[in-house]
A and B are shown apart, each in its own frame.
Chain A
């Protein structure tokens, strides 16, 4: 079983289906060189972001403001707007999220962790993000994929902590959000999500139970791209 570079990169970019991911994960476990290449490519992606994301926060030049005829709008997108208008993959931080009104309520999950996942563990009675999930929460940008993890949007809770929503592309797909505690990302809510049929990236929707939990917790608006970049570079503290 040989994994091509294209397959490995597609895995990193969240472009593979479940079977493709399983194949790459098996190869990664068996081949340290492949795992090193994955780490190097993840580092390259981080470097590119580190180089160009600050552009988002630069003051807009006068001529660009002039050419649009007005002061550029901020990137704030409110949660209600996001729910109303699914825009697969095109909107940051709202990338790939959609909620169908007909979805059954997701089930808040605490006891049923799938043992093979390794993405959520228990420390002192709390659920904490591990592995690829922890890495995604720590380093990822909204809309990005880290293996099975797809990041949703970020926000601050009423205590001022940073939180981020995410989906886990597994069977069944699950979605939730996690908040940055002093020493770990606590998984606050995790519920079964319903995958969107026909989506190219198989983005799963945020179940209503998760959205309701976010509504109860969120302070203000979700982070826009600039606020997210700032939080990311400050280590979410």
Chain B
């Protein structure tokens, strides 16, 4: 039997959003392959659930939300399998478009991996993806006040980690 096709709008939106979903996934996972796995799962879910998308909701928010949920599922599964997963592993395999980018992404991925998941998500949505607080809070399904406090703690922690790394490498 033929599967109903997703609405052209969702498919178009997915195509247009693909590079940005990939950037968000890279910021969250710190690995190029894990990030693409995550994007793949999110895109498959989005296409399968296209009829659930309500046109009065920004499709981008809906897609970011699906990616976020897929990431949370993945994190839970991973924790069950590897209770002592070392965050230092993150950043070992970042995508490379040049050596400079490689080094930059590597050290940032290692620092991001040390943030609690919720703070990493807040930092990624607002500072990497450029969402407004209201938009990011909607994607995270939390009140704006919760988002702002996670974002503030994430920023401070990240700044401290990066300062510490710079200090250690001198």
Q: Provide the B122-160 mask, 1 if CB < 8 A to any CB of A, else 0.
A: 010011101111110000000000001101100110110
Give the number of residues in B that approach A within 8 Å (Cβ atoms).
49
Q: Provide the B1-22 mask, 1 if CB < 8 A to any CB of A, else 0.
A: 0000000000110111011101
Chain A residues touching B, range? 35 or more
- Residues from 37 to 57 in A contacting B, C-beta threshold 8 Å: 40-41, 44-45, 47-57
**A49 proximity list for chain B (CB < 8 A):** 127-128
Say yes or no: A89 contacts B109, CB within 8 Å.
Answer: no
Q: Is residue A186 contacting chain B, with contact meaning CB distance below 8 A?
A: no
**B123 proximity list for chain A (CB < 8 A):** 48
**B108 proximity list for chain A (CB < 8 A):** 47-48, 51-52
Contact of B22 among A55, A69, A141 (CB under 8 A): A55
Binding site for B on A (CB under 8 A): 5-6, 9-10, 13, 15, 40-41, 44-45, 47-58, 60-61, 63-64, 67-70, 72-73, 75, 87-92, 95, 141, 143-144, 200-201, 225-226
Say yes or no: A69 contacts B11, CB within 8 Å.
Answer: yes
Secondary structure class of chain B's binding surface, majority of residues: helix
Q: Please name the 3 residue pairs, one residue from A and one from B, whose CB atoms are nearest each other, closest first.
A: A51-B108, A55-B23, A73-B15
A6 to B156, CA, bound (A): 11
Say yes or no: A144 contacts B130, CB within 8 Å.
Answer: yes
